[in-house]
Amino acid sequence: MIILHADTNHPILLKKLAEAGHHNIEAYEQSREETLQNQHLYDGIVIRSRYTIDKEFIDAAPNLKFIARVGAGLENIDVPYAEKNGITLFSAPEGNMNAVGEHTLGMLLSLFNKLNKADKEVKEGLWHREENRGIELDGRTVGIIGYGNMGKAFAKKLRGFDAEVLCYDIKENVGDKNVRQVDLDEFYEKVDVVSLHTPWTEETHQMVNNEFIGKFKKPFWFINTARGKNVVTEDLVAAIKDGRVLGAGLDVLEYEKASFESLFANKKNVAISAAEPLPEAMRELMFLPNVILSPHVAGWTVESHKRLASVIASKITSKFGLGEEQKEAPLRTDF
């Protein structure tokens, strides 16, 4: 098959596909419009998040057999329309789940021990020991919302701590040896930490808002390594300022582009468009001492770079390997 690669990935992806007899077309600088003009030539496309694959794109690709996203979610793809057209969809949540689990734990421990604040102060010549006294994870209750690949990876990392780990998921019976599944009432009552591991869907869009935060019985720490648009930043900032949220670790932001590229047009004073001021809530978030931010890199490690590419290559070649029959492949949308 002729496979278009819209984004760069680890070289192992190209190598494995070539070994299976497929022809790779590297189009990393090619615009979406340029791709559309020649999309009828390709049997498959491999993408991260550079552009959206919608009805227009799919209609221009009558020979398209699969779309592979080298990442966890499929929100930049019109999944129902692709399925309707018999296109197989691949994603690779297994590829970066360990990286996300480690990053989530790192953010939580950094918040608990005020490492970002302490680091900044020491570099400025300040030696504030009492003001940087931390707290411990042992004895606390960690709540995970969304118990797919990423949630499970985080729960596994928590096994070395004497902490209770709960999860809430819309699917039943997903609990395991690392977590106890509970209903929302128990979740709201008990947790000290909320870690979000849900995809971005109609149901999860802006789910973390003032109403959601108000249901918790006690102030909590909040970590989001999932999707930024699941959170109303303005409501989160207000909750941090009035103490309902004790602090936040955010690897993803509401104001990100769908491509996950830079939030800023140049420095940190303006948003994506130079004519569009950075939202006030984002400005406040950037200067709160009990907030840690990272640029959507939770799953972005040296190891996951290779693993993601390897997982996608294996899924493609398992279904479309040289000389093999095309058999039905499951749609991977779990997070």
Of 5, 296, 307, 332, which residue is the catalytic one? 296
In the predicted structure, residue 281 carries a pLDDT above the cut 90: yes
- Is 307 annotated as catalytic? no
pLDDT at 273: 45
- Residues in a beta bridge with 179: 176
pLDDT tens across 156-178, in order? 999 999 999 999 999 999 999 99
Contact by Cβ (8 Å): 96, 308: yes
Contact by Cβ (8 Å): 144, 192: no
- Residue among 255, 249, 250 at smallest CA distance from 112: 249
pLDDT at 321: 75
Of 103, 140, 227, 244, which residue is the catalytic one? 227
Strand order in the sheet with 180-181: 180-181, 164-168, 141-145, 193-196, 220-224, 245-250, 291-293
- Is 227 annotated as catalytic? yes
- Region 122-135: mean pLDDT is 97
In the predicted structure, residue 241 carries a pLDDT above the cut 50: yes
pLDDT tens across 59-116, in order? 999 999 999 999 988 988 999 999 999 999 999 999 999 999 999 999 999 999 999 9
Of 256, 305, 307, 332, which residue is the catalytic one? 256
Instruction: Give backbone dihedrals phi and psi of 165, rounded to 5 degrees, phi first.
Output: -120, 120
Residues in Cβ contact with 304 at an 8 Å cutoff, skipping those fewer than 6 apart: 95, 96, 98, 99
Domains and CATH numbers, the chain: 2-94+302-320 (3.40.50.720), 97-293 (3.40.50.720)
pLDDT tens across 227-240, in order? 999 999 999 999 99
CA distance 118 to 107: 14
